[in-house]
Structure 1
Amino acid sequence: MGKAWLPTPRALEALAHAGARVPAAPAYEVLRRANDRRFSLALGATLPGQRTVTTLDEVREALAAPSPGGNWLLRRPHGFAGRGRRRAREDEVLGAARSWIEASLRSFGALVVEPWVDRVADFGWHGFVSREGLILLGDPTWQETAPDGTWLATRPAKPFDLGREETELFARAAEQAGAALASAGYFGPFGVDAFRWRDETGNLQFNPRCEINARYSMGWGIGMGERRPDLDPEP
């Protein structure tokens, strides 16, 4: 049985061409919707001022709001490994950032805007949605990332890496994400990214859902451990 990182029609065609047995996969439009950053945002904003914008004026309005350090992060609806995003200030919307913003709006129709915050620790929680809509979660993981957000390494979360309240918030976010994916018609592996951040007063805050990845991710096998429903034989 072949496995694709993201089972797009092209990936499934490549598996078939290689002689692998092609697994059942969600419809392509389901994959696109589930991996769109607006899908996660529709479950509720998790950072102050986080929103979707569709015009240059809306970008200017969003970036005019207060933000820690005065910086914002613009994220295209689709992207991974730190790609498809740009840091910007309000005064850059009609200047240095304008061409990137306009090109993004033309290509994707929207951007997700959120405050640029001081991230101090990154985490992941992985799971699997069965074709019947059942959700199986692994255990939380600690993630090492580069300054630009690129993934570097994953390990199981150690005791006290996450506080009790953080763990509870994170678990609810993972369960909520799994239920939303199942309702959208998605089945297969998924992961939820989270991070701890420091606000402008120096206090630590926790974002329990910064991203939903409706696919395999680099730390998925580590997070799931011996729970591998993706390896169960298909009927």
Structure 2
Amino acid sequence: MRRVFLGNFDFEHQLTREVYAATGGATPALNLNLASCWLGMAADGDQIYLPGSVSADYITHLQSAGLPKVELIADWPERDAAAQMTFVPWGWSQATAKLAQSQGFTVTAPDLAAVKTVNSRSFSFACESVWGLSLPGSCRVESLTELEAAVAELPRGQEKVETAWVLKADFSMSARERMLGRGTLVATQVRDWAQKRFACQQPLFLEPWVQRTAEAGLQFEIPQQGEPEFVGLALLRCDDRGQYRGSRICVDAQTQETWQPAIEVGQCVAERVQHAAYFGPLGIDAMQYRDARGELQCRPIQDINARYTMGRLALGFARFLKPEQVASWLHFPWKESYGQPFSKWLKCVADMQKSSTRFIATSPDQINGQALRLVNVLLISETTEELYQAEETLMRAVSTLAETAC
């Protein structure tokens, strides 16, 4: 059955509005900019909802690159056609379920209360606590008094070095809905932010800030009946603020073995998620870090996402690889002030490299005549060494462009 994909990438904002009864949040531009990311999951004949004008050259480019022949739609199908299609959102919220039903799609969605439960930090914190996996000093707080006491009691690092920490909301994502702090006191800005959430009867979660060395997205599929399926592992690339900047979608046996303990914990999480009445895609972010003694540790449950994730979409590109090929899917900001189309600039970077790595733009240059603020590219290499080199070449070129455009 043909599918139509809705990129409600503001999913957590939708949940936040439902929980906090708050206005605002992500703008429609976010969903518009990221709509083409569904290429990782889409097949020939599928539709991607993208309510804007995109050049026909973009579709031609995708086909010439060997990517699926999809249809970008700005309007929903007629009800008779919609009834014959599978509706696939980034995540199931109340707003998304109502939209699907109003447009005539046959909806097979998990219980929406279960979606909210599993996506909350309360759920992941409970998993960590029950299995003894919490970071030292991590705790749930429900008032300013509890917050101040917890910060004051955080384990100290080296002498004369203030302890860094992060305070997270019950619903947060990609370095949003969180505040950073340092030392034993809670700054006014953090207090004000926390108080608003406490006023809505929402807990917050305090964690020490640790020295991250590597992150991975563990991807599962939770069926309505039967055992949860481990789909694969995608190594994450994040910036210094913890925001997602891409996934390496092919890992060797040694890397798989390194993350195997996290995968085993992830399987337990998947079973617990299924028991909570959720079914569908599940992504679990795991992290390797160094503790205060400099020893390498693993945090297998950093985040639980009962929805699609960029890592899951990235894994979808693996079907276009030949045996032994490896790939990465990278994301980075783009600006109109750079003065040239993204695809043209990318071709120049690809032509200057010394390897045979393919650089494939997976996002269009413009939507409605405006340059995208976030672009993405698929790198396909013959060897891991070539892939690493291509990643560094591209990221250096991005940095140079940003510096020279200032």
Q: Which TM bucket (shorter chain)?
A: 0.7 to 0.9
Matches within 5 A, 1:217-228: 217-223=309-315
**Residue of structure 1 equivalent to 2:140:** 52
Shift of 1:105: 1.7
The one-letter code matched in structure 2 to 1:182 is: Q
Distance in 2 (CA, whole Å) between partners of 1:25 and 1:14 is: 12
Q: In structure 2, which of residues 270, 274, 277 is the aligned counterpart of residue 182 of structure 1?
A: 274
1:83-139 CA-partner distances (Å, limit 9, x unpaired): 111111354425342111211222352101111111121111001111115201112
Distance in 2 (CA, whole Å) between partners of 1:223 and 1:39 is: 26
**Residue of structure 2 equivalent to 1:31:** 115
**Residue of structure 1 equivalent to 2:369:** none
Q: Which runs of 5+ in 2 are unaligned?
A: 1-85, 320-406
**Residue of structure 2 equivalent to 1:231:** none
Change in 2 beyond 3 A, CA 1:163/1:134 = closer
Shift of 1:170: 0.7
Once superposed, what is the RMSD of the aligned Cα atoms?
A: 2.1
In the alignment, is the contact (CA less than 8 A) between 1:77 and 1:108 conserved in 2?
Answer: no
2:115 aligned counterpart, secondary structure:
helix
Q: Which has the larger radius of gyration?
A: 2
Shift of 1:161: 6.8
1:112 equivalent to 2:205? Answer yes
Q: In structure 2, which of residues 136, 151, 155 is the aligned counterpart of residue 63 of structure 1?
A: 151
The one-letter code matched in structure 2 to 1:207 is: R
TM-score (ref. length: structure 1): 0.86
In the alignment, is the contact (CA less than 8 A) between 1:125 and 1:174 conserved in 2?
Answer: yes
The one-letter code matched in structure 2 to 1:31 is: V
Which structure is richer in relative contact order (CA contacts within 8 A, separation 6 or more)?
1
Q: Higher helix share goes to which structure?
A: 2
In the alignment, is the contact (CA less than 8 A) between 1:53 and 1:110 conserved in 2?
Answer: yes
Change in 2 beyond 3 A, CA 1:118/1:15 = same
Out of 78-87 and 64-73, give the one that drifted further.
64-73
State, as a whole percentage, how many aligned pairs show the same letter. 26
Shift of 1:13: 2.5
1:130-182 CA-partner distances (Å, limit 9, x unpaired): 11152011121100112222111112252377474x42321122101101111
Change in 2 beyond 3 A, CA 1:213/1:175 = same
The one-letter code matched in structure 2 to 1:38 is: S
Change in 2 beyond 3 A, CA 1:40/1:157 = farther
**Residue of structure 1 equivalent to 2:295:** 203
Shift of 1:214: 0.6
Q: Which runs of 5+ in 1 are unaligned?
A: 227-235
In the alignment, is the contact (CA less than 8 A) between 2:262 and 2:298 conserved in 1?
Answer: no
Shift of 1:27: 1.8
In the alignment, is the contact (CA less than 8 A) between 1:133 and 1:187 conserved in 2?
Answer: no
In the alignment, is the contact (CA less than 8 A) between 1:67 and 1:115 conserved in 2?
Answer: no
Shift of 1:67: 4.4
Matches within 5 A, 1:21-170: 21-44=105-128, 45-64=133-152, 65-68=154-157, 69-93=162-186, 95-107=188-200, 109-159=202-252, 162=255, 164=257, 166-170=258-262
Distance in 1 (CA, whole Å) between partners of 2:208 and 2:310 is: 26
The one-letter code matched in structure 1 to 2:112 is: Y
How many corresponding residue pairs? 224
Shift of 1:221: 3.1
Out of 137-146 and 153-162, give the one that drifted further.
153-162
Change in 2 beyond 3 A, CA 1:74/1:213 = same
The one-letter code matched in structure 1 to 2:106 is: V
The one-letter code matched in structure 2 to 1:169 is: P
Distance in 1 (CA, whole Å) between partners of 2:115 and 2:261 is: 26
Out of 167-176 and 210-219, give the one that drifted further.
167-176
Change in 2 beyond 3 A, CA 1:111/1:133 = farther
Out of 89-98 and 105-114, give the one that drifted further.
89-98
The one-letter code matched in structure 1 to 2:174 is: A
1:181 aligned counterpart, secondary structure:
helix
1:79 aligned counterpart, secondary structure:
strand
Out of 73-82 and 130-139, give the one that drifted further.
130-139
Distance in 2 (CA, whole Å) between partners of 1:157 and 1:208 is: 20
1:182-210 CA-partner distances (Å, limit 9, x unpaired): 11000000011011112222222211111
